[in-house]
Chain A
């Protein structure tokens, strides 16, 4: 009998007591974060290949700054150090992807530090920040150092920023070609028509050039100028499909966001009488940071609604704001600001879209 009791005791040595449920899903926050990092790798590697290895340095500085800032802040705030959950790495990586390829290295260092220290940790750390840290970091950099943030684009061997092999329309005046050669496709769309108006010339050749099959192809594959991470829709979509397959993101925000931009632009250019309407729509969907923003930043769980209806409202709001900024705002690109504004009203969306409780 004594032996049996001893056996029983040994059997119960490592027993765990806790409330139900006793089994858990395999998904965890660190796993999700690192899979997001992995999903961004195709676009990151392509960018290093396209714009040169300096880009890798910019990314490395941005990530390192984010990691160091997180460790220092958590140490100072006497919080457990959770840098291995991968969230700081994502912030650093996404911030770098939103920078021009040839920024001086202090830009990513300052930007990531701002994102982590001010936007994330001072608001309470992962889960409590109101705004997407990477986007708020970018907004801070853009407001503080506009020249560094909007001119240091990569120039291809042909001397142009806009694309590696631009098929410039013969009808375009040399003056226009010179002025848009240093701009991104969206920059050319924003500044080009104004310039042509000053020269009292038709804007049509510019539209024909931008809304062309060749341009759409360049935008899709990514041999165009722009921020580090936004260049290739193809490689971004590969990563996005991976995240959808792994159920880390859902379709609700990206689809409603992109569809809204497409619809908005479709209506606008239809009434404007642009002949290549499908290309005009595709131009806006594939250019700038829309794909990057819609799949990787507007899906940041912390700063977006928790309900499915809320997510769709969030996406539509982002789409409308981004379109308005692109068409009538001061910046050629509206993705970051659209997401940041919608981040701000997320608590309100959550409150208004609370699901109807079963049986009420």
Chain B
């Protein structure tokens, strides 16, 4: 049952006009790349190179450590100058392999040999995804090979491709769907073969009509699989996994459960594109598209960036800023991470870099809750953010515990809508942390 929507949600101004007509561009390779060994959920990869060693483009530099981990590859050819701790999006002291660019690019720009994925079996396909170090590019960065290989006691009948891109400002997924629809459909077929299923949906918000049309055209040529494009109502957080599954299948992922509990696997369009590259061309995940945007950015756009390139280098390539930023955000404005300096590298889960001016991100002291109930009506999980916030403020975690704090998906809709400007999702995070520590 397709319901096209979900309960609650908000309509922030989408501000996609800054970049949604600007075609992809490559950024030049920085002098130094700082490649974190942790760019995913799970254990950091183990370094397999040493300082002083020369590496080739795409060479393995970090070996996945355990099941929930991912390989890390050299994104540029050159000399490993050091393996040291630097500030990364995941940690203030994240181990990075620092590579000084040198030597030739062996893979980029070459005519590539195409593997025939139909002749490969499931294990071989998953092996290729795993060794390419692919993780969810939507932001969560969960190792994709694990997601595509659910335990035997879970049957999967539906694959959902997430092309909703509900975060304001970001336009990479939109641009990718418009420019590479055939590749995405082919990637979808590969993922379906891995999962052994015959039904897939691609959910796209209605504010991307060109992407919807491009994918519909591409999907129409597919005879072997059933791939349906689902235009979704525009509402944040439509791209949140549980809300997307509900909108497309009408199934509710149980509290504390995973999509596979309702027989669904969700993959972001960018991830699907990367899966195809890995399977057909044995290409490791060393680059991705990101949106660099904000009204103060001189040359905003959608850029192809190698992991390890630092925000400062990216900004230089984008012509700098028209005025001092008030906030630098890695990701979108709803879920992204505020940075305190620009020497932080882009990683696999980075979907964009957003520079906000002073008037775009007013920080006002918050007031007490006036019980207006707006947070209750926008919460996509049907929680009571106001009560959770009040309990957190009084450190009454015993009260908060009964209000399902762990069902919060941290979408930030409650904080966005609160007229008292209360940091409600932050309060809920505080509750989660306090309760986790107690357990």
Which of A's residues lie within 8 Å of B, judged by CB? 8, 10-25, 27-29, 31-32, 82, 85, 124-128, 301-308, 311, 354-360
Q: Would you call B373 and A22 a contact (CB within 8 A)? A: no
Indicate which residue in A15, A20, A85, A354 contacts B425 across the interface (CB closer than 8 Å). A20
What is the bound-complex CA distance between A23 and B329, given in angstroms? 11
Indicate which residue in B335, B369, B407, B416 contacts A25 across the interface (CB closer than 8 Å). B416
Q: Would you call A359 and B360 a contact (CB within 8 A)? A: no
Q: Would you call A358 and B370 a contact (CB within 8 A)? A: no
Residue of A8, A10, A13, A358 with most chain B CB atoms under a 10 A cut-off: A358
Q: Tell me the chain B residues, 349-406 only, with Cβ under 8 Å from chain A.
A: 354, 356, 358, 360-364, 367-373, 376-377, 380-384, 386, 404
Which of B's residues lie within 8 Å of A, judged by CB? 7, 10, 12, 168, 242, 246, 252-257, 312, 321, 324-329, 333-338, 340-342, 354, 356, 358, 360-364, 367-373, 376-377, 380-384, 386, 404, 407, 410, 412-413, 415-421, 423, 425-426, 429
Given A21-B416, A27-B419, A301 contacting B373 (CB threshold 8 A): yes
Separation in Å of the B430 CB from the closest CB of chain A? 10
Separation in Å of the A356 CB from the closest CB of chain B? 6
15 contacts between A and B (CB under 8 A): A11-B324, A11-B342, A12-B341, A16-B326, A18-B423, A19-B425, A23-B356, A23-B360, A25-B416, A28-B364, A126-B367, A307-B376, A355-B384, A358-B252, A359-B407
Beyond A21-B334, A85-B367, 16 additional pairs, beta carbon < 8 A? A11-B325, A11-B342, A15-B340, A16-B338, A17-B340, A18-B363, A19-B425, A19-B429, A25-B418, A28-B364, A126-B368, A311-B373, A358-B242, A358-B382, A359-B242, A359-B252
**Chain A residues with CB under 8 A of B372:** 32, 301, 306
Indicate which residue in B7, B336, B340, B368 contacts A22 across the interface (CB closer than 8 Å). B336
Separation in Å of the A39 CB from the closest CB of chain B? 16
**Chain A residues with CB under 8 A of B12:** 23, 25
**Chain A residues with CB under 8 A of B354:** 22
What is the bound-complex CA distance between A14 and B429, given in angstroms? 26
Given A11-B325, A19-B425, A22-B336, A357 contacting B381 (CB threshold 8 A): yes
Indicate which residue in B356, B363, B407, B423 contacts A357 across the interface (CB closer than 8 Å). B407
Q: Would you call A15 and B7 a contact (CB within 8 A)? A: no
Q: Would you call A12 and B342 a contact (CB within 8 A)? A: yes
Q: Would you call B333 and A16 a contact (CB within 8 A)? A: no
Residue of B327, B334, B426, B429 with most chain A CB atoms under a 10 A cut-off: B327
Indicate which residue in A19, A85, A305 contacts B426 across the interface (CB closer than 8 Å). A19
What is the bound-complex CA distance between A359 and B404, given in angstroms? 11
Q: Would you call A358 and B368 a contact (CB within 8 A)? A: no
**Chain A residues with CB under 8 A of B252:** 358-359
